[in-house]
Amino acid sequence: MDPIEHVERKLADLEAHSLTRRRRIADTRCTPLQVVDGRAMLAFCSNDYLGLAAHPRVVEALRAGAQLYGAGSGASHLISGHSRAHAILEERLADLAAPHLPEARALYFSTGYMANLAVLTALGADNDAVIFSEALNHASLIDGARLARAAVTVYPHGDVAALEAQLAASTAATKIVATDAVFSMDGKLAPLPQLLALCERHGAWLFVDDAHGFGVLGAQGRGALEHFGLRSPNIVYVGTLGKAAGVGGAFIAAHASVIELLVQRARPYIYTTAAPPALAHALLTSLDIITGEEGAGLRSHLELLVAQLDAELRLARWQRVVSSTPIQPIVIGPNDEALRIAAALYARGLWVPAIRPPTVPNGTARLRVTLSAAHTHDEVAQLATALNELEAM
Ligand SMILES: *Cc1c(COP(=O)(O)O)cnc(C)c1O
């Protein structure tokens, strides 16, 4: 077959299953009120949970970072791209992680996707490593396990007993339990205290991907480990910095020896150009906000918005996922139906993404509503009213 024709058949197949994805062009900053493809919209899509992506102080810090350090880093971290800005950020992140990880060190990455690949390839590369992977894990953890070429055992979602049986039956020298802390498509928390207890009993690593918890959970926004009050040398933690922190990149925090192994061996760290130092510089301001009084205020406003949406939605047919986080999904089921509802919301000026397989299991296509501290009570009320009306139609 002609190669282009082959590709076009694949695309036609996606279209036939209502699986084609389309990008919309945002003309404005990442804020609730946006101009999208030239049209004013109220957005409930982003992971900018604290509204820091367009925060004036963060934007100003990015500008100042560019003045200080220029536009790009010029090389990978191990050649010449590791700037003072990266080093200061890593010290700051290690301080934040210190209550939860003995002898903590932190390593800054360009993206969370790469940080997850790095952890799993560096720790899971041994011939006798087994990665125990939660069924609803993010694609980056699944890809990291593939790249590590380690044996992978998937445990059912939230099933601590099943994981315990798998760990007990394993004779592997290196065991890694990998889980999202907040499941990205349903907003629920993993049972981290129980998972940690299991890992400590079985000599396993607990690898926590806190992409949606860092900045949002815990009194100081330190994330899921702070929320649950966990501390252990068995934990390897990834927090991302492009969601609640509003800028970009990610970090791994772990015992200093683990971080040193990553610097020496993790190919997704070594073979890529260091992120622009200005981003690291801007992140210092994000971290000030997250851990300070302003962050606490943003988180309490966000909690009120989550409670408001919960109180105002009156859905009979569509299923809500019970979630205390700003990720508030509404499961519609069929792909075409989820697309139809998202289009109806869009026609009303409300931008809510429809999430379809393979991002979520087949038959559970959903509206993924995300709230941000930048939303107002009035905006959340508009969304609840529209959803209630559309469901009743
Ligand atoms: C977004 C996300 C990532 C990837 O982080 P990026 O910095 O966007 O590459 C990893 N894990 C989870 C659970 C995520 O939601």
Q: What is the pLDDT of residue 126?
A: 80
CA of 2 to the centre of ligand 1 (A): 36
C-beta of 214 in contact with ligand 1 (< 6 A):
no
Q: Which two tokens stand for residue 127?
A: 């011939």
Contacts of 354 (CB under 8 A, 6+ apart): 332, 335, 338, 339, 341, 342, 365, 366, 367, 368
C-beta of 242 in contact with ligand 1 (< 6 A):
yes
| Ligand 1 pocket mutation pick from 107, 137, 179, 184 by most atoms within 8 angstroms of CB | 184
* 385 is an annotated ligand-binding site residue: no
CA of 169 to the centre of ligand 1 (A): 31
CA of 277 to the centre of ligand 1 (A): 20
CA of 168 to the centre of ligand 1 (A): 30
* 359 is an annotated ligand-binding site residue: yes
Burial class for 144, CB neighbours closer than 10 Å (0-12, 13-18, 19+): buried
Q: What is the pLDDT of residue 18?
A: 82
Q: What is the pLDDT of residue 21?
A: 87
Half-sphere exposure (CA, 13 Å, Cβ side) for 33? 5
Give dist(CA 246, CA 374) in Å, integer.
Answer: 12
For residue range 128-168, list pLDDT tens digits in order. Answer: 899 999 999 999 999 999 999 999 999 999 999 999 999 99
User: In this structure, which residue's CA is closest to atom 5 in ligand 1?
Assistant: 112
| Ligand 1 pocket mutation pick from 46, 117, 140, 189 by most atoms within 8 angstroms of CB | 140
Domain architecture of the chain: domains with CATH:
15-44+293-392 (3.90.1150.10), 56-291 (3.40.640.10)
CA of 240 to the centre of ligand 1 (A): 6
Q: What single letter denotes the amino acid at residue 99?
A: P
C-beta of 239 in contact with ligand 1 (< 6 A):
no
CB atoms within 10 A of CB 9: 11
C-beta of 180 in contact with ligand 1 (< 6 A):
yes
Q: What is the pLDDT of residue 291?
A: 98
User: In this structure, which residue's CA is closest to atom 14 in ligand 1?
Assistant: 211
User: In this structure, which residue's CA is closest to atom 2 in ligand 1?
Assistant: 211
| Ligand 1 pocket mutation pick from 47, 111, 136, 138 by most atoms within 8 angstroms of CB | 138
For residue range 299-316, list pLDDT tens digits in order. Answer: 999 999 999 999 999 999
Q: What is the pLDDT of residue 20?
A: 87
Report how far Cα 80 is from the mean position of its chain's Cα atoms: 29
| Ligand 1 pocket mutation pick from 109, 113, 279 by most atoms within 8 angstroms of CB | 113
C-beta of 323 in contact with ligand 1 (< 6 A):
no
Q: What is the pTM of this model?
A: 0.96
Tens of pLDDT, residue by residue, the chain (393 residues) = 899 999 999 999 999 988 888 899 999 999 999 999 999 999 999 999 999 999 999 999 999 999 999 999 999 999 999 999 999 999 999 999 999 999 999 999 999 999 999 999 999 988 889 999 999 999 999 999 999 999 999 999 999 999 999 999 999 999 999 999 999 999 999 999 999 999 999 999 999 999 999 999 999 999 999 999 999 999 999 999 999 999 999 999 999 999 999 999 999 999 999 999 999 999 999 999 999 999 999 999 999 999 999 999 999 999 999 899 999 999 999 999 999 999 999 999 999 999 999 889 999 999 999 999 999 999 999 999 999 999 988
- Provide the H-helix boundaries in the chain: 3-16, 56-69, 84-97, 112-123, 139-148, 160-169, 192-202, 224-228, 256-265, 267-270, 277-291, 293-312, 335-347, 377-392
Q: For a pLDDT cut of 70, what percent of the chain falls above it?
A: 100
